[in-house]
Structure 1
Amino acid sequence: MPAPDRPPLSLTERRKAATQQEIALAAARLFAEHGAEATTAEDIARTSGVSLRTFYRYFRTKEDAVAPLLAEGSRRWVALLAATSPGTPPLTALLDSARAALAPAPGHPAESLAWTRGLLRAMPDDPALRDVWHRVHHDAETALHPVLARLAGLDAEGLDARLLTAAANTAMRVAVETWAAGDAPPADAADLAGAAFRRLAGPLLPPA
């Protein structure tokens, strides 16, 4: 059965999300320009035009501030999968949703992926940023699980559904990390994700 529609966000929730995104973009810019170690929460708050008190209302640490930016693609991907028409082959759904989630679009500019690339490149030297990235993908896997189990016609509590979800989530993460390590344009991130998903085709994920 199709995923249930979510109620629209309230004005307060939309404003909160917009503020979090502005702070995330400011943090990403500062980390790219000066490094995370040299950037303070005060710097991020000032650059994003909020008070330090407001910053800490939304984020526990300066590294946490980039979580909304890093999570943006995963949220879009899961939402697009959830909106997939019943009967769509799972591999087709994964390919189409990944391409749409990673492609620049209104409200999802190419600059967001560019900042993500910079953050991923900084992670080998920053354990706190790595922790944020892996937490983002843990949360994405939790959200992805019931959606992908439904699309694949699998028991959500069963081993097959859990394996498929973990593999698909890891494929998306590895594709984005591989793209970030090079100099390819944003569209290539979607191509890499598609190649990763095709490699999963087999007993758990029939070819499209």
Structure 2
Amino acid sequence: MTERRRSRQRLEISREATRLFRERGVAATSGEQIAEGVGLSARTLWRYFRSKESCVEPLLAQSVDAFVATLRRWPAERLLEEHLAEDYRLPADAAPDDAAAVLDIVRMTREEPGLRAVWLVINERAEPVLADVLAGRGGQSADELAVRVQAAALNAALRITTEEAAVAGESDTVEDQLARLSEAVRAATHGLVGNAVA
């Protein structure tokens, strides 16, 4: 199986797990039910994921990856907060319901420790990637303290604003979410411009 096909299958499993968690709750959903919903054996599912909660990783990672991709497209002369407000988008292969599904998962993390652990791991994995992007823009090393702190602040801005959007639910528009993300990025970066790391 190609890596691309494997990634698509993992994302399909993630969508099904999220659908079942929404309908039945995490406790009432089994790995076998998730596997059955996508036409796989439970054995195959467990080769892809270590627990039923970890089945949501691909959807959560997709939203974090979108943030990183937006950061990579950040023009040198723009404030990051301005760039995010205009450029942030999910990947082309995202399903129409993926953004809402991510917010539903994040909302469930408030009551489901297993999902919370997955969400925090996804955020932890993003931090060194953010540091690499910031370091490359400023001609610095990703190991430098200032770069690592900046990456941690950006990561926290993304996590917190996503959690706030999840709590706000349907009353929040995409514009509201982007405005909140831009505000959090402004607070985290103190007006960082594209070609400099403070």
Question: Normalized against structure 2, the TM-score is what?
Answer: 0.87
- Which residue number in structure 1 is paired with residue 97 of structure 2? 111
CA distance in 2, matches of 1:126, 1:48: 23
Over aligned residue pairs, what C-alpha RMSD do you find? 2.4
Q: Determine which of 13, 18, 22 is the counterpart of 1:28.
A: 18
- Which residue number in structure 2 is paired with residue 79 of structure 1? 69
- Structure 1, unaligned stretches of length 5 or more? 1-10
- Structure 2, unaligned stretches of length 5 or more? none
Q: By how many angstroms is 1:125 displaced?
A: 1.4
Query: Secondary structure in 2 aligned to 1:147?
Result: helix
What letter is aligned with 1:127?
Answer: P
| Aligned: 1:96 with 2:79 | no
Q: Do the aligned partners of residues 88 and 150 (structure 1) sit closer, same or farther apart at CA in structure 2, a change above 3 Å counting?
A: farther
* Between 127-136 and 175-184, the greater mean CA deviation after superposition: 175-184
Q: How does 1:153-172 map to 2 (within 5 A)?
A: 153-172=139-158
| Aligned: 1:192 with 2:180 | yes
Query: Secondary structure in 2 aligned to 1:125?
Result: coil
Q: Do the aligned partners of residues 28 and 109 (structure 1) sit closer, same or farther apart at CA in structure 2, a change above 3 Å counting?
A: same
What letter is aligned with 1:28?
Answer: T
Q: Determine which of 39, 51, 61 is the counterpart of 2:41.
A: 51
- Which residue number in structure 2 is paired with residue 4 of structure 1? none
Q: By how many angstroms is 1:97 displaced?
A: 4.7
What letter is aligned with 1:33?
Answer: E
Q: Determine which of 165, 172, 177 is the counterpart of 1:179.
A: 165
Q: Determine which of 160, 182, 192 is the counterpart of 1:205.
A: 192
Asked if structure 1 preserves the Cα contact closer than 8 Å seen for 2:104 and 2:166, the reply is yes
CA distance in 2, matches of 1:131, 1:14: 26
- Residue by residue over 1:46-79, the C-alpha shift from the partner in whole angstroms, topping out at 9 and shown as x without a partner, is 1122111110110010000000001101112213
Question: Normalized against structure 1, the TM-score is what?
Answer: 0.83
| Aligned: 1:134 with 2:120 | yes
Task: Provide the aligned length of Structure 1 versus Structure 2.
Answer: 193
CA distance in 2, matches of 1:187, 1:152: 30
CA distance in 2, matches of 1:72, 1:60: 19
* Between 105-114 and 166-175, the greater mean CA deviation after superposition: 105-114
CA distance in 2, matches of 1:106, 1:159: 34
What letter is aligned with 1:146?
Answer: D
Aligned sequence identity (%): 34
- Residue by residue over 1:129-186, the C-alpha shift from the partner in whole angstroms, topping out at 9 and shown as x without a partner, is 1000000000111211111122244442221111100001100111111111112133
